[in-house]
Structure 1
Amino acid sequence: MITGTERALQIHDPADGSPVGTIPVATAEEVDEAVGTARRLSTDWARTPAAERGAALREAAAAIRARADDLARINCSETGKPVEESLGGVLAGAGTLEQYAELCPLRGGRTLLGNHNATDLMVPEPRGVVVALTPWNDPVAVACGLIGAALVTGNTVIHKPSERCPHTGARLGQLLTQALPEGVLQTVQGDGEVGAGLAARADVDVIAHVGSTATGRSIAAATAATGAKALLENGGNDPLIVDEDVDPVWAAGQAALGAFANSGQICVAVERIYVHRAVAEPFLSALVAEAQSRVLAPLVDRRHRESVHGQVRQAVESGAELLTGGEVPDGPGAHYPATVLSSCGPNLDVMRTETFGPVAPVAVVDSFDEALRLAADDEYGLAATVLTGSQANAQRAWRELPVGTVKINAVFGGAPGGAAQPRAASGAGFGYGPELLDEMSQVKVVHWEPAPGR
């Protein structure tokens, strides 16, 4: 693991403000050394048979499963994510490594039908050095996806975990590297300055980022200058549409799950709700009851809580009605209650930007057409959910909503291996699933004719 001496990350438990620990920020010299090592080892790792790389990932997954409880507790102490939910993310990460370990050796290129006396091939090859910049809200699952896909396809990796969960990233790195040749995976600790420096380097080949749209845009600009591939899952502002023909109490349960799970700190959380006027009153009553029944884990820190509360405050000052929540509680930590807002106009920050907190802003609409139009009128393109009993409306929704994922009658769920491409301000490229192996590879075309005989 790379460490430094000039600056340090000081982490406090968001539940009670108690200190978790301090981790040094990597210096510029240490980052140079890490990238140089990754570049030097990239050729040998690329030549390692895919089956051997897959075996290393299986061994790494076993190490994570063996220490899953420990890793989940570290994650909980840094981010406030409940241990049970943290454990789910840890085990999901191990499962992803195992999936990629099985899939990669089965991947192949293509043979092309050219001249009879020639051989024509399309062959996948590693890209080289991959920088993985991972978030704090699901740090193990996301990191295992990006790191695992990069490693198994023959790339070396520099991993910079979020500065909000460096201990989680450090422990994950220790477990992963037990199964790998030294230097093939390295963990670099740091804040946005370190991440920006990595993204701007001309000697790396891929910058894979999961995080905010602002950071993703800066990475895209940097890679446009260096020529590195940018693989980006940025923020989202995911809408939920409640049609007139659904049970409003059931719909409120779905809305609450989507808006309040992990205290709203999920990339595909419900960020804005459009409910048909015919069911609006019972829906809002049920949603308020759902919110008031929930005891939420804290937000990741007080700085983030102030951002969330600032959006709620701005909405109320601009005419939205606060139905429940919306107050910063007394006491230590970064707690914030499940909050429901109604009468939310389209220009409020809670309707136009990613709040990333336990806030459910609701707008009442007069038709499904109006809901669909408002849901589509957004700069983001991550995901959307539609609750409807109408097959016609469901068909229209999944065809017309300009997002990478559309969910009908369930805010979460999906078959294993599904992979979506975020759109517009939400990023570009597959960030998970089997297709991520293709993102971490590049294709070479080979045309081979025999030399003239003697």
Structure 2
Amino acid sequence: MSAAVDIPAGREQDAQDAAVIEIHNPDDGQLVGTVPMATRTEVGAALDKARQVQREWAREAPAARGEMLRAAAAALREQVDSLAALNEAETGKPRSEAVEGVLAGAGTLEQYAELGPVHRGKSLRGEFSATDLMVPEPRGVAVALTPWNDPVAVSCGLIGAALVSGNTVIHKPSERAPYTGAVLGRVIAGVHPEGVLQTLDGDGSVGAMLTSDDRVDVIAHVGSTATGRAIAASAARTGAKTLLENGGNDPLVVDADVDPEWAAEQAALGSFANSGQICVAVERIYVHRAVAEPFLDALVRQAEDRKLAPLVDVRHRDQVHEHVVDAIEQGATVHTGGNVPNGPGAHYPATVLSGVEPGMRVLSEETFGPIAPVRVVEDFDQGLAEAAEGRYGLAATVLTGSMAHAQRAWRELPVGTVKVNAVFGGAPGGAAEPHGESGNGFGFGPELLDELTQTKVVHIEPPPDLPR
């Protein structure tokens, strides 16, 4: 696509006075624009403003805060086309998927508009003459650090839950999607009191300024494990609460009793959707030897039939290719793909590998690209055991016709989400807590409201000189 999109007014101003981020269209390499990064002074001013207005915002009735989120959702739907165009230009996300992400974000705001006012505390049963309560209260100033691969939907979840709970929010979108983040921030902030939501642009250095400041009460981050660890270290010093969804290396186990054609369709969907740039993408595949040959043949056909959108940028494309090269050098076989195309942009083909071994990076690390590494196992026990290995614990999928195997899988896999016979899907309002190095805390659903509030216990009884 052309790099020509409607750039939000005001994003270019003062770029000469600050470090800037250059955004290139990953499809053709053309410059989309340059965005000035927030300075330390601007970060400090935003934190001061957030603290200044938070107490008054917390006094707003939850129902009123919910009405503002509904208004934000309506405004977001009106901006769906412009937001989707910006998202596509910045990250290469296909326009139709970008539209779905915006609509999902609007739906999430509406969900928290409903959930916020009914977020309950508890009454306790103490003495007859006393009242004992457990009351949820906002934590204070929340910092939301959000990713580029689904920049609207993920951001709306964290921002919506934080705002409806009475927190003020400073949002730093990914430096790979600052224009999308800027428009999103303006839409939501436009229906809220000044200072309740602020958006700051920048790379990891700006994120580090925010997360190391003791004026921040809660940090919600979706991104890499390395960044998550740095945030956790900072929060340990400042005392901020952290919610971290970090990297993943999600396995897919294919049992002997499933249709290999159908299993290959599921594997292709999990590995190649959004060019593999999904937090819960399939990153490693363990297939029973009994169906391995037809499964692999079908998976190769699936890969060759797919025309993928580019990866987010050349830097990321090079990291993906490094994992493939590492596997090839250690003896893996490339069935299709595995090469860097000629020409501009950050394109990479759907790639299928076999003969992969546990020590290879495509099995041990998060690749986050359109790579399907296939490891043949002798039986379900081996597949499940190897799928359970590793330092990450985001999600896993098992394709099986055996109820016994399905039961074992969801009980034994040390991950936050287990999916049986579908790589994607789930009921509305669901929440998952990452395991291992994939993070901590609930990042979705009603449970996110619990994470973004803290409980105060209240005990009330009359003074001793009054009748009881």
Q: For this structure pair, what is the TM-score category when the shorter chain's length is used for normalisation?
A: over 0.9
> Which runs of 5 or more structure 1 residues have no equivalent in the other structure?
none
Q: In the alignment, what sits opposite 1:168?
A: 180
Overall identity of the aligned pairs, in %: 68
Give the 3-state SS of the residue equivalent to 1:59 in structure 2.
helix
Q: Residues 392-411 of structure 1: matches in 2 within 5 Å?
A: 392-411=404-423
The TM-score with structure 1 as length reference comes to 0.99
The 3-state SS of whatever aligns with 1:434 is: helix
In structure 1, which of residues 281, 284, 309 is the aligned counterpart of residue 293 of structure 2?
281
Q: Residue 438 of structure 1 is aligned with which of 447, 450, 454?
A: 450
Query: Which of residues 351, 354, 366 in structure 1 aligns to 2:366?
Result: 354
Aligned residues: 454
- Alignment partner, residue 429 of structure 2: 417
Give the match's secondary structure for 2:456. Answer: strand
CA–CA distance in 1 between the matches of 2:134 and 2:400?
45
Q: Deviations over 1:359-408 (max 9, x none)?
A: 00010000100001100011000000000000000000000000000000
For the pair 1:364 / 2:376, whether they are aligned, the reply is: yes
Task: State the alpha-carbon separation in 1 of the partners of residues 67 and 426 from structure 2.
Answer: 28
C-alpha RMSD of the superposition? 1.0
Deviation at 1:453, TM superposition (A): 3.0
Whether 1:121 and 2:133 are equivalent positions in the alignment is yes
Name the amino acid aligned to 1:403: V
Deviations 1:21-46 (A, max 9, x none): 11110000000000000001110000
* Equivalent in 289, 304, 309 of residue 297 of structure 1: 309
Distance 1:433 1:83 in 2: 26
Q: Does 1:427 align with 2:439?
A: yes
- Residue among 37, 50, 56 paired with 1:38: 50
Q: 1:344 aligns with which of 336, 353, 356?
A: 356
Give the counterpart of 1:380 among 389, 392, 396: 392
Query: Which residue does 2:75 correspond to in 1?
Result: 63
Q: How does 1:157-236 map to 2 (within 5 A)?
A: 157-236=169-248
Distance in 2 between residues matched to 1:423 and 1:198, nearest whole Å: 25
Deviations 1:54-106 (A, max 9, x none): 00000000000011111011000000001100000000000000000011111
Contact preservation (8 Å) 2:119, 2:449: no
AA matched with 1:99: Q
Pick from 23, 27, 45: which aligns with 2:39? Answer: 27
Conserved 8 A contact 2:172-2:199 = yes
In the aligned structure 2, how far is the partner of 1:239 from the partner of 1:109? 38
Shift in Å at residue 296 of structure 1? 0.1
Counterpart for residue 53 of structure 1: 65
Shift of 1:246: 0.3
* SS of aligned partner of 1:361: strand
State the Cα deviation string for residues 142-192 of structure 1 (Å, max 9, x = none): 000000000000000000000000000001011111110011000000001
Q: TM-score, normalised by structure 2?
A: 0.96
Distance 1:104 1:181 in 2: 18
Alignment-derived partner of residue 90 in structure 1: 102
Q: Deviations over 1:103-123 (max 9, x none)?
A: 111122110000000000000
Provide the rounded CA distance (Å) in 2 between the counterparts of 1:199 and 1:276: 45
- 2:320 — aligned with what? 308
Tell me the residue number matched to 1:255.
267
Q: Offset of 1:300 from its aligned partner?
A: 0.1
SS in structure 2 opposite 1:120?
strand
Amino acid at match of 1:146: L
Q: Quick one: distance in 2 between partners of 1:196 and 1:257? A: 35
